[in-house]
Structure 1
């Protein structure tokens, strides 16, 4: 419900939830980032806290702000990437049924990772040591999803899991069991959708796997 604040300005308060970014919040409400930052006294738009209440002017109701992979992996851009075979290990045993495609064409849609088909319940393993920064199912289409942050601002992404075996903030080692293959989200059959990103930029996993 909209309310008046300050000098009669109407709007709503949005309470920041985990993994929401200031940019995504403002985009969802269709408001100017700089104006919202000014009203709320926010000097650094990259640093907002879970539970923080942000006044959104000129809107009538609180909206649901979706979370995207880019919101979790946001950071430095991949300007110069060193591709190194064996930098990551295979996250699951199975058959690659879809490859990486950076750009959509008339024949093929954009695909930010690879798909590895296997029997439901097959073990998914951490492709390298790192910290689990996301383990949930709140991103549209991904189903049960895990994101791990590694050294040098690399991220690996494991989607459509039948079950996530690790929680956020947990440190995992290369090869640790982290999930089981499933068909949650938009998957039509059991498989692992696997991505490697440098910051928010998706990269071809085949150039890093042994």
Structure 2
């Protein structure tokens, strides 16, 4: 009996020792210090994880009951993006103690200028009006004042998760609704314009306004296109579908990055052959430009 009690005590003692060495505090699911992870991972695994950590990511320790969907909802991220960032399938089963890399964005400040609305500012910084108002204690959006310094919420981001259906495998795009890359007046439509054919839509905006991805996809080009398109971004959405965003003042993404629908990818400009600030937006199916207005959400 004595030996049995001693064995139980020893087992409990070892369990407590292991927990004290390798467990993190209950509220430390998001880990700020990379060295905390180094003590519990094999060197090769740690190096691979560390290589994916930068100013725009954070490490998350999986807890009991976590799923990619729940984690993404908690931190207002796209579950597909979280899966891709961690080389996982969207329905992957997670293990408590497993480490994931999550998207992260620092808090920023913005000074309200003439003509600004809360909706404009939220759209420009890729956040929601609700999150922006809550972060600044704004009850009445009509009381926004010029010179007011607003806090733009960081991670977890205030961007509502955009739920999009997978692109259909068939050639027909009719069931698909793309997001508008920019909310503004259409200054030039798709089709013949004087003696030339215009392959997309020109949507007017202000220099610096965010241009958002019309659908989730992979960046296949980001840079100077030519003297006509100027700075441009191309996204591959699979099934032979591609979107193009041109005349940008600044591109925010790099080739090879996965972006989700609604994520800012560039800023409005007038580079290339442009008469004013706008985005030239194209939808291409197997290399052929098609009329974007048929597939944009109304």
TM-score interval (norm. to shorter): 0.5 to 0.7
* Aligned residue in 2 for 1:160: 247
**Contact 1:132/1:171 (8 A) holds in 2:** yes
Report the 3-state secondary structure (helix = DSSP H, G, I; strand = E; otherwise coil) of the residue aligned with 1:83: coil
Give every structure 1 segment of 4 or more consecutive aligned residues whose post-TM-superposition deviation is greater than 2 Å: 83-87
Q: How many aligned positions are there?
A: 128
Match of 2:187 among 85, 97, 100: 97
Match of 1:187 among 267, 274, 288: 274
* Aligned residue in 1 for 2:95: none
Is 1:117–2:207 an aligned residue pair? no
Name stretches of at least 5 consecutive residues in structure 1 with no aligned partner.
Answer: 1-79
Name stretches of at least 5 consecutive residues in structure 2 with no aligned partner.
Answer: 1-169
**Contact 1:130/1:151 (8 A) holds in 2:** yes
* Aligned residue in 1 for 2:229: 142
* Aligned residue in 1 for 2:76: none
Report the 3-state secondary structure (helix = DSSP H, G, I; strand = E; otherwise coil) of the residue aligned with 1:91: coil
In terms of fraction of residues, the more strand-rich structure is 1
Report the CA distance shift for 1:89/1:160 in structure 2 as closer, same or farther (over 3 A): same
**Contact 2:240/2:287 (8 A) holds in 1:** no
Is 1:174–2:261 an aligned residue pair? yes
Q: How far apart in 2 are the matches of 1:180 and 1:85?
A: 29
Match of 1:82 among 151, 172, 192: 172
* Aligned residue in 1 for 2:289: 202
**Contact 1:100/1:204 (8 A) holds in 2:** yes
RMSD: 1.6
Match of 2:217 among 124, 130, 140: 130
Question: Which structure has the higher relative contact order (CA within 8 Å, separation 6+)?
Answer: 1
TM-score using structure 1 length: 0.58
Q: Deviations over 1:46-71 (max 9, x none)?
A: xxxxxxxxxxxxxxxxxxxxxxxxxx
Report the 3-state secondary structure (helix = DSSP H, G, I; strand = E; otherwise coil) of the residue aligned with 1:186: coil
Q: How far apart in 2 are the matches of 1:136 and 1:114?
A: 20
> Which structure would you say has the larger Rg?
2
